[in-house]
């Protein structure tokens, strides 16, 4: 039996993850009282029960009883019930934004600011994150991308490194992405904007890709950038970071940055991490 305990920050996507697990055949229970965890595990593991995959949501809604989780996990181990912990996380900025958009109250905020509730929650559930088998940072993940990450773990059963790398193209004229960890400026590369026959294409189109990559400096830059990132990424992962966002910027975010970001994505996707690509400004008109 595969027994998954789903936990994490409020607003990070736990309920969505449970729904996705249910869709792929898990028997799911959300917001289970901690003191019932062992009983639930015993029932689910009973051979008379026709269930081979279960997922249980356990989080801050348990209040102070959450601190009994360690005892319950120890009892599960003593009973020979193997479990794994899936932890959904997100940065404070993303969580605040989600709570404001949904107009929901944070369970620990009460009459205080959402930020205060988030800070209390991080402290209270840190012991769960430390024991997690899988940590997914959903700060900039779309719903379909979260599903892709879960499929890697629970359907494809690939080795999962708890580390997501996002290659993000953008235009400097629209601002540097607030959440970018590394930013590389490719405005020094030849600009296809000045060719009127190419202007309305983007870096997702072959004519622009050929224009940009036909220049030696583009190929050399990509080669050196790949070497740098192959050196850096494992070190970021080793420091406990779970999501690295690499920003590639040009003036308008449509041509050079998109081309280089796509090429870099192709170079990195063979690494033992989850690699994703995003183009923030590619649809913002034809400005250079």
Domain 2-154: give its CATH superfamily: P-loop containing nucleotide triphosphate hydrolases (3.40.50.300)
- pTM of the complete model beyond 0.85: no
Query: Helices (H) and strands (E) in the chain — how many of each?
Result: 9, 9
179: confidence class by pLDDT, cuts 50, 70, 90? confident
Break the chain into its structural domains and give their ranges: 2-154, 164-279
Looking at residue 249, its pLDDT comes to: 97
Residues 6-63: tens digit of each pLDDT: 999 999 999 999 999 999 999 999 999 999 999 999 988 886 667 789 999 999 999 9
274 φ/ψ angles, rounded to the nearest 5 degrees: -85, 120
**For residue 174, pLDDT beyond 90:** yes
Residues with Cβ within 8 Å of 144's Cβ and at least 6 positions away in sequence, in order, are none
270: confidence class by pLDDT, cuts 50, 70, 90? confident
Looking at residue 271, its pLDDT comes to: 84
Residues 59-94: tens digit of each pLDDT: 999 999 999 999 999 999 999 999 999 999 999 989
Looking at residue 29, its pLDDT comes to: 94
Looking at residue 161, its pLDDT comes to: 61
Pick from 11-25, 91-105, 166-180, 192-206: least confident: 91-105
Task: Say which DSSP state 254 is in.
Answer: S
Q: Residues 180-202: what's their mean pLDDT?
A: 94
- Of the candidates 82, 38, 88, 27, which has an alpha carbon nearest to the alpha carbon of residue 60? 88
7 φ/ψ angles, rounded to the nearest 5 degrees: -140, -175
CA 225/CA 267 separation, integer angstroms: 10
């Amino acid at each position: 039996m595969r027994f998954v305990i789903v936990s994490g920050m409020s607003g990070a996507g736990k309920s969505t993850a449970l729904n996705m697990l249910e869709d792929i055949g898990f028997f799911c229970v959300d917001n289970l009282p901690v003191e019932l965890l062992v009983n639930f595990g015993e029932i689910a593991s009973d051979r008379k029960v026709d269930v081979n995959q279960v997922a249980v949501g356990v989080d801050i809604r348990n209040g102070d009883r959450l601190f009994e989780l360690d005892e319950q996990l120890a009892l599960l181990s003593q009973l020979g019930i193997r479990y794994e912990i899936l932890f959904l996380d997100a940065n404070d900025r993303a969580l605040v934004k989600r709570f404001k958009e949904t107009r929901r109250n944070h369970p620990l905020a009460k009459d205080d600011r959402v930020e205060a509730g988030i800070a209390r929650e991080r402290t209270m559930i840190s012991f769960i994150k430390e024991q997690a088998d899988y940590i997914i940072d959903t700060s900039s993940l779309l719903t379909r991308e979260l599903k892709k990450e879960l499929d890697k773990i629970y359907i494809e059963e690939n080795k999962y490194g708890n580390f997501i790398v996002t290659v993000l193209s953008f235009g400097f004229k629209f601002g540097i992405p607030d959440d970018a960890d590394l930013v590389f400026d490719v405005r020094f590369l030849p600009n296809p904007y000045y060719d009127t026959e190419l202007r309305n294409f983007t870096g997702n189109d072959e004519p622009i890709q050929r224009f940009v990559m036909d220049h030696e400096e583009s190929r050399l830059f990509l080669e050196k950038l790949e070497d740098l990132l192959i050196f850096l990424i494992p070190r970021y992962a080793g420091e406990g970071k779970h999501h690295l966002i690499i920003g590639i910027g040009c003036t308008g975010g449509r041509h050079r940055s998109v081309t280089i970001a796509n090429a870099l994505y192709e170079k990195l996707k063979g690494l033992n991490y989850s690699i994703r690509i995003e183009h923030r400004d590619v649809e913002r008109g034809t400005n250079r």
